Amino acid sequence: MGITEGRGTEAGPTAAVETAPGAAPGRGDTPARRTATTGPARPVPPGRTPTPAAPPPATAPPAPGPGPGDPRLAWGGGTDLATGVPPLRHRRDGILPAVGAALSVRGETLTCTAGKSDQPPTLHPLVQDFFDTLPTGQRERFTGRCPEAILLSRHLTTAEGSRSKRASRKPLSPNEARRSLKHAKITARHIREDGDPRHGSYAPPCRSCTALLAHFGVRVIAGPAAAPDHGSGNGNVTDRG
């Protein structure tokens, strides 16, 4: 392998060219010929565009996470550092307002809130049959979505499933349902945003649930009256719908 000297240019000093065996010196670059420069690179001839350098490999940004400088830590404004849960200060459509109830039967307590899904909740056949026979004067537009109806359905479903094999051959009768609800008590409360005077106050049952609870002999535990809801008229309708 020989070394030939190339001619210098105005832009830089003379370059030493390493020529592969069998290649004619002084000719243009070939796959077998590599040029090692001893000075700055040669200028690009006029009319030719230099080949752009390959961009650096893209790197994914680091995943955000909680930390000392995380802005999400201040989203709640008045976040309670002890619990980490910010108080609710604004109305959230589809979540609040709501009504929650608790049913107590012989030391066992069931709780739930009113149903607000697109489809009404599935009720126990005895509860659904009672609502189907109600006169128009005792019906509400949200009949069957109240927590009282949902809790009674849950209890009756459990009571029906725990019967003996002989008794389970027939559907649960109204008398059996009343016996399973003997000494049962129920109460309901408004669930509102922080600062709302109705939050935590007693929510009386609607017309349909009042008749339902009396039919099955469930005692209603009342509480302090709620503050009037001037913005929605009938508080039961808006809260339980």
Residue 29 has a pLDDT of: 52
Q: Is the pLDDT of residue 76 over 80?
A: no
**What is the residue extent of each domain of the chain?**
99-114+121-220
Beta bridge partners of 219: 185
Higher pLDDT, 185 or 52: 185
DSSP state of 12: B
Write the burial class of residue 121 (CB in 10 Å: 0-12 exposed, 13-18 middle, 19+ buried).
middle
CA gap 205, 235 in Å, rounded: 11
Residue 208 has a pLDDT of: 96
Residue 23 has a pLDDT of: 47
Share of the chain above pLDDT 70, in %: 54
Q: What is the mean pLDDT of residues 149-157?
A: 96
Q: What is the mean pLDDT of residues 76-80?
A: 51
CA gap 88, 39 in Å, rounded: 71
Higher pLDDT, 142 or 91: 142
Q: What is the pTM of this model?
A: 0.57
Residue 12 has a pLDDT of: 47
Q: What is the mean pLDDT of residues 201-210?
A: 95
Closest Cα partner for 191 from 141, 154, 240, 140?
240
Q: What is the mean pLDDT of residues 69-89?
A: 52
